[in-house]
Amino acid sequence: MKPLLPAAVAILVISNAFVLAHVAMNRSGEPDSEIELTARELNYFGGRSDDSSVVLMLRWENTAPEYPPGLPMDGPDWFDQKKLEALGFDLSVPASSPRGERFYGNLRSREAFVALEFEGPAWEKWLAAREPKLESETSYAPKVTLQERLEIERETTPRLVAVDVGLDAAALRQKYPDRKRVMILECLVRAMLEMNRPASAVAPARAAFLRGAITRLAIETINVPEPLSGKLREQSSYVPWTYDGNQVKIQQPTFAATLRVGSKYEPWVTDVKVDVKSLR
Amino acid sequence: MRPQERADRLRMFQSELADLEREGVLELTPEQRTRLDTHIERTLAELASQFDVDTTESQRQISLGMKIASALGGIALCAAVALFLARYMGYWPTPIQVAVLVAIPLVLTIAAEFAARREKTLYYTALIGIVAFAAFVANLSMLGSIFNLAPTPNALAVWGLFGLALAYHFGLRLVLAAGLVSMLGWITATTNTWRGWWWVEFERRPEELMLAGLLLAAIPLFIRHAKRTDFPAVYRLVGMIAFFVTMLFLSAEGQRSYLPLQDKAVEHFYQMFGVVAAAVSVWIGIRQSWTGVVNIGTAFFTIFLFFRLIDWWWDWMPKYLFFLLIGLVAIGLVAVFKRLRGRMRLAA
């Protein structure tokens, strides 16, 4: 046997051993966080005949989105230029420079960590910020009242809210020590250039500025292993609310899953509960 | 020289000798003729029994059909393995999932060795080899999904090394190409991560891929392939395609370039550079007798030219006139190549 065949076998065995060791390290010891989420935060779209895996999609409220809905922003929110610099972005070209559009348009995403707070003050703030926008929200039928819209938002939307980003996950954990309420996961961030806005009848002039955006989580789908997946396989997709033309009916989440995040900031499902009446 | 090349040369020599005798240019004595025929037939028979080479044109055509069937069969089997795992793996407990995912490429690698020891032409080995490579890709990808791991470019390096090890061990060109594509992806992705950028977004600044392609195409100049004489062509093929496809992308998306120029200036630069680089490839390919490089150069020369013509003429010219001009350009190109060929013949 020539040495290349044992080399091929060794590559195969070592790489698999490396992956399994990485998984064991992530899952051993005290978890970084453990939170019970429901179908509001973990979407299950039902099984497919050609795919037997059961996968949950993590849903969260992005307070620094790449393309914010609604009117153009008046200025950066919490994810500002200072935070971008701390994340290592090259911001040497001023926002007002003619070179800015090309320079920032070509800047690639960077890997960072995001702190997601569950059902805390950030979620209350998010709901409060949504309230004035709900009246003109086109995703609701016109007959759905503002009170009903508020209830739908409060009872059905994901309660995980992005509150901070950083390069050092340990430093983020120190800042947000509640492991039952704040989950830290790997994410991707970008620098966004908001071009200057001339004065108009509805808004004053605003200079160009730089802000940060969280573009996605590094791990957005979470596999549910056997035997836990068996509990979800019979479930249909969660429909948060229905409207029959007269009345809004809010559906309670159909399942809850405990999500644990390990020392390598990789999540896994440790428990699944179905048909629990008290879920919200 | 590879056994098949030697057999081809002997057959050509036989046929040319028959022509020369018919035209009266050369006449061998009956004794010389018999001795020569016996020698050629014996050598061909030895080559056929030792290396299973094709000794007639019809055998050669069947072999080509077998190669195509083997490649298509390999691709179909890869799809079958992936779809089977997707269909049933979700019902198995995690330890069984892991065991099956590790076992499939391992068993296939050993099966490829088993096949290689029993056949000289390596049709089955090539088929099993490409499925083993695909199974290893599925192995690590699916482990990542099962354990919710963040994607990493290092998987590309591992796939590349595995592909290269299989390819050099068995002499499989398709597996070599797959391994080189993985390595190309890893080099480009790693240069991204060194600077703190997310590794997947290399299309935002694709010039690194262009350089990596060029580097790959140049590797056979520094590493001799005395045993695997057909491998340098694969390096050149993969490297040149990466080089030209990236250049084609930059000729339309100037804002993605590192060059400190206006977007349009970058696009014009790559449009011209693309045509020149393709022409230079054809020239180098002809001088070095690298058929693959000549073909890639010609193909991209035509593509670059065609895109330029669309850019310049499509909007303002009647469509019939546009295609007429394309036809005339093609006729012009044929005339240029014919002239080039004539000059080369004279020089030879």
pLDDT tens-digit profile, chain A (280 residues):
567 889 999 999 999 999 999 999 999 989 999 999 999 999 988 777 788 889 999 999 999 998 887 666 676 788 989 999 999 998 999 988 888 888 888 888 999 999 999 999 999 998 888 888 887 777 788 788 888 888 888 889 999 999 999 999 999 999 999 999 999 999 999 999 988 888 877 777 888 899 999 999 999 999 999 989 988 887 778 888 888 878 888 888 889 999 999 999 999 999 999 876 666 6
The DSSP element (H or E) to which A202 belongs, if any, is none
Q: What are the chain A neighbours of B198 within 8 Å (beta carbons)?
A: 108-111, 188
Residues of chain B positioned with their CB less than 8 A from the CB of A2: 169
Residues from chain B contacting residue A108 (CB–CB below 8 Å): 192, 197-198, 201, 204-205
Percentage, residues of chain A above pLDDT 70: 95
Q: Residue A45 corresponds to which tokens in the numbers above? A: 């779209």
The answer to whether A207 and A246 are in contact (CB under 8 A) is no
In the prediction, which pLDDT does B65 show? 82
**Cross-chain Cβ contact B201/A110 below 8 Å:** no
Written as six digits, the tokens of B334 are 């044929």
pLDDT band, residue B185 (cuts 50/70/90): very high
What is residue A276's predicted lDDT score, i.e. its pLDDT?
67
Nearest CA in chain B to A231: B91
Give the number of beta-carbon pairs within 8 Å between A and B.
124
Structure confidence at residue B74 (pLDDT): 81
Averaged confidence pLDDT in chain B: 87
- State the smallest CA–CA distance between residue A53 and chain B in angstroms: 4
Per-residue model confidence (pLDDT) at position A105: 83
What span, in angstroms and rounded, lies between the C-alpha atoms of B339 and B3? Answer: 35
What phi and psi, each to the nearest 5 degrees, are found at residue A193? -100, 120
For chain B, percent of residues with pLDDT exceeding 90? 33
Task: Kindly determine whether residue A225 and residue B88, on different chains, have CB atoms separated by under 8 Å.
Answer: no
User: CA nearest B113 in A: which residue?
Assistant: A5
CB contact under 8 A, B149 and A110: no
What is the per-residue pLDDT across A84-94, written as a single tens digit (0 to 9) for each? 999 999 899 99
d(CA A56, CA A39): 9
- The maximal CA–CA distance of chain B, rounded, in angstroms, is 79
Q: Among B25-34, B45-54, B69-78, where is mean pLDDT lowest?
A: B45-54
Neighbours of B32 (CB within 10 A): 10
- Whether the per-residue pLDDT at B344 is higher than 80: the answer is no
Identify the residue with better confidence: B288 or B94.
B94
SS (H, E, C) B58-71: HHHHHHHHHHHHHH
A197 beta partners: A206
Residues 6+ apart with CB under 8 A from A189: A79, A84, A87, A109, A110, A112, A165, A212, A213, A214, A215
- ipTM for the predicted complex comes to 0.88
CA distance A130 to chain B (A): 32
Q: What pLDDT does A207 receive?
A: 86
Taking the C-alpha atoms of residue A154 and residue B154, their distance in angstroms, rounded to an integer, is: 43
pLDDT at B40: 85
pLDDT value, residue B248: 92
Which residue of A8, A102, A110 is in closest CB contact with B198?
A110
- Which of B105, B113, B168 lies nearest to residue A12, judging by beta carbons? B105
Q: How many CB atoms lie within 10 A of CB B45?
A: 11
pLDDT at B139 over 70: yes
Distance CA A225, CA B96 (A): 11
Contact A116, A183 (CB under 8 A): yes
Residue indicated by tokens 């629990």? A276
* B136:A219 CB<8 A: no
- Structure confidence at residue B307 (pLDDT): 84
Residue B53 above 80 pLDDT?
no
CB atoms within 10 A of CB B314: 10
- For residue A261, the model assigns a pLDDT of 96
Range with the poorest average pLDDT among A75-89, B50-64, B108-122, B229-243: B50-64
CB burial string B68-94: b at 16+ within 10 A, e below: eebbebbeebbeebbeebbeebbebee
What residues of chain B lie within 8 A of the CB of A229, using their CB? Answer: 90
Nearest chain B Cα distance for residue A59, angstroms: 16
Q: Tell me the CA distances in angstroms from B170 to A13, B109, B238, one per residue in order.
A: 20, 10, 19
Residue B51 clears pLDDT 80, i.e. is over it: no
Per-residue pLDDT, A8: 94
The mean pLDDT value for B286-304 works out to 87
B231-263: b (≥16 Cβ within 10 Å) or e:
bbbbbbbbbbbbbbbbbbebbebbbbbeeeeee
d(CA B136, CA B178): 12
User: In whole angstroms, what is the distance from residue B189 CA to residue B167 CA?
Assistant: 23
Nearest CA in chain B to A217: B150
pLDDT of residue A129: 86
pTM attached to this predicted model? 0.84
- Closest Cβ–Cβ partner in A105, A222, A226 for B92: A226
CB distance B93–A53 less than 8 Å? no
Per-residue pLDDT tens over the stretch B211-260: 999 999 999 999 888 888 889 999 999 999 999 999 999 988 888 888 88
**Cβ contact B162–A108 (<8 Å):** no
Give DSSP secondary structure letters for A122-136. Answer: HHHHHHHHHHHHHTT
